[in-house]
Structure 1
Amino acid sequence: MSLKVYYDLLSQPSRAVVLFLLANDIPFEAREMNLLHGEQFSEEFTKLNPIKKVPVIKDGDFTLTESVGILRYLCRERNVPDHWYPADSKKQARVDEYLEWQHTNTRSSCALYFLNKFMLPAIKGTQPNPETVARRERKMVETLNEVEEMWLKNKSYLAGDKISIADLLGACEIEQTRMAGYNPCEGRPKLSAWLERVRRDTLPHYDAVHAIVRKVTEKYGGVAPASISKL
C-alpha cells in the first residue's frame, strides 16, 4: 500500500479527506496524528509539512498538503466516479467555484467561531470572550444563510445535482460548529436536508469520521472544558 494519510479527525479538512477515501474504497495506510498533543510539531512530521498542519498524503515518493489539492489529486489519480470532480469543464468549474468561496467563508467563519467559543478557551483554561464570540457568530450566521439561500438554491448539492468534493469539505466545516453548541440546521431547511443527503450518500463512513464531533457535543454541550486534556 503506497498511499499514507496523516490526519486527525478533530480537524475538519482531515475528516473530508478520510471520508472521501473511505466512501470510494481507496486503500490507505492511516497515520493518525494527535494535534492536541502537539504531534504536528515533531521533527519527522515537519519534514513532511513545514506548515505543521494536517491532512498530508504521501503517495509513493510524492507528498502533498492542503485538503483541496489532495482531493483534486485523488480524483485524478484514483478510479472514482466522475461526480466527485467532473471532467466536464463547466461542471468542474461549479465545484471549483464553491471551493474558492469556501476558504474565506464557510471554513473561515465556522472555524473561527469554533476556535473562539470552544477550542481556545479549552487550551488556555479561560472563559470565552463574549464580544469576540458574538462577532464570530454573526459572521458565521451570515455565511450559513448564504449556503442556505444561495449555494443550495434550486440544487440538491453545493455544485449541482450530484455529490462532489465540495459537499464533503462544506459539510465537515459546518458539522464542526456543533461542538461549540451551535445547531447549523435550525431555521435552515435546505441546509439541513443537504447535510442529511451527504450523510446518507456516504454512510456508514460519515458517522464514523464524525464520531468525535458527536462525542464532544454530547459530553460538553458547547461549553469548553477547563483543560484541553479533558477532550
Structure 2
Amino acid sequence: MPRQPHVTEVNGWKGLSQTSHIKQGEHRTEEFRKVNVLMKVPALKDGSFTLAESVAILLYLAQKFKTPDHWYPSDLQKRARVDEYLSWQHSNIRMKGSKLFLCKVKPLCLTNQPLPPEKLEFATEELNTALKQFEEKFLQDKPFIAGSEISLADLVAVVELMQPVCAGYDLFEERPKLKEWRRRVEEAVGKQLFQEAHEGIMNIKSLTADQLSPEVWQNRCV
C-alpha cells in the first residue's frame, strides 16, 4: 500500500508540511492537488479551507489559534515591522540563501565534487549583501526584528539562514551581531525544538541525486 503524504492534525486543522515524503513525489499526487493545486509544500487544509505559501500559513495559524501576541503583534507599528521583513525576505534572504545552498549541494549530489570556488563566489557575495542589509535595516541594535521579543519575522529569517549553514557556509561565524541574534532565537523557541526542526536539512549533504525532489534540479545555482 503506498504511503500517504504526512498529515498533521491540530485542533481541527490539517497541515501538509515539508516533512512530507517529497523525495517520493507525494506532493504531486491527486490527493495533494486537492489541498494545493500548485503541488508544492507547505500547504494547509482547515475543514474546507485550503491555503498555500508558508508566510500566509504562519499568519493564518497565529491569528486563528490566538498565539502569544509577540509572534504577530497587535501593536500596529510592531506588526508593520514583521510585515515589512516578510515582504522583503522573499527576494533577498530567501532567494540568495537558497541559491548558495543549491550551489553547494547540487554538484555534490551529481558528481560528488564541489562547485569550483570561482563559481561559488558570486552566489556568496549576493548573500553577503543581503545579510548586511538584514543587519543594518531590520535587526539594527534590537534583540529581535520587531523589537524586544521574538516574532514570526525572526522565525522565517532563521530558517532561511540555516540553509546555507547546513550546506557548509557558516554565515554566523564572522558576524557577532547575527550570531547573538540566532542564539536568542534558538533560546526563545527552545534548543531541542530548534535542532529537531533542522534535523533533516543538517543531513542534506549525505543525500544522493535520486533522493532530491525534481524541483531542486529545476533551479540553477549560477
Q: Could you state the TM-score of these two structures normalised by the residue count of structure 2? A: 0.82
Question: 2:82 touches 2:151 (CA, 8 Å); kept in 1?
Answer: yes
TM-superposed CA distance for 1:128, in Å, is 5.3
Q: Percent identity?
A: 39
Question: 1:147 touches 1:191 (CA, 8 Å); kept in 2?
Answer: no
Cα distance in 2 for residues equivalent to 1:229 and 1:112: 19
Q: What is the SS of the residue equivalent to 2:45? A: strand
TM-superposed CA distance for 1:143, in Å, is 1.1
Q: Could you state the TM-score of these two structures normalised by the residue count of structure 1? A: 0.79
Partner of 2:196: 208
Q: Deviations over 1:101-134 (max 9, x none)?
A: 101111010011111221x335545755535432
The residue type equivalent to 2:34 in the other structure is K
Q: What is the SS of the residue equivalent to 1:104? A: helix
TM-superposed CA distance for 1:198, in Å, is 0.7
Question: 2:155 touches 2:185 (CA, 8 Å); kept in 1?
Answer: yes
TM-superposed CA distance for 1:147, in Å, is 2.0
Partner of 1:39: 26
Cα distance in 2 for residues equivalent to 1:78 and 1:145: 35
The residue type equivalent to 1:78 in the other structure is F
Q: What is the SS of the residue equivalent to 1:105? A: helix
2:56 to 64, 69, 78: 69
Partner of 1:3: 13
* Structure 1: tracts of 5 or more residues without a match: 9-31
TM-superposed CA distance for 1:209, in Å, is 0.8
1:190 to 2:190 alignment:
no
Cα distance in 1 for residues equivalent to 2:98 and 2:137: 20
Cα distance in 2 for residues equivalent to 1:42 and 1:125: 30
Cα distance in 2 for residues equivalent to 1:206 and 1:129: 29
Partner of 1:86: 73
Question: 1:3 touches 1:60 (CA, 8 Å); kept in 2?
Answer: yes
Q: What is the SS of the residue equivalent to 2:91? A: coil
Question: 1:46 touches 1:52 (CA, 8 Å); kept in 2?
Answer: yes
Change (3 A) 1:146 1:100: same
Question: 2:108 touches 2:114 (CA, 8 Å); kept in 1?
Answer: no
Report the aligned-residue RMSD: 2.2
Q: What is the SS of the residue equivalent to 1:5? A: strand
Q: Deviations over 1:50-94 (max 9, x none)?
A: 222111111122111111111111121112111111112111101
How many corresponding residue pairs?
201
1:115 to 2:102 alignment:
yes
Cα distance in 2 for residues equivalent to 1:102 and 1:196: 20
Decide which moves more: 94-103 or 142-151: 142-151
Question: 1:178 touches 1:213 (CA, 8 Å); kept in 2?
Answer: no
1:146 to 2:133 alignment:
yes
Q: Deviations over 1:152-207 (max 9, x none)?
A: 21111122211000001000000111222100111111110111111111113212
* Moved beyond 6 Å, runs of 4+: none
Partner of 2:6: none
Where relative contact order (Cα < 8 A, 6+ residues apart) is larger, the structure is 1
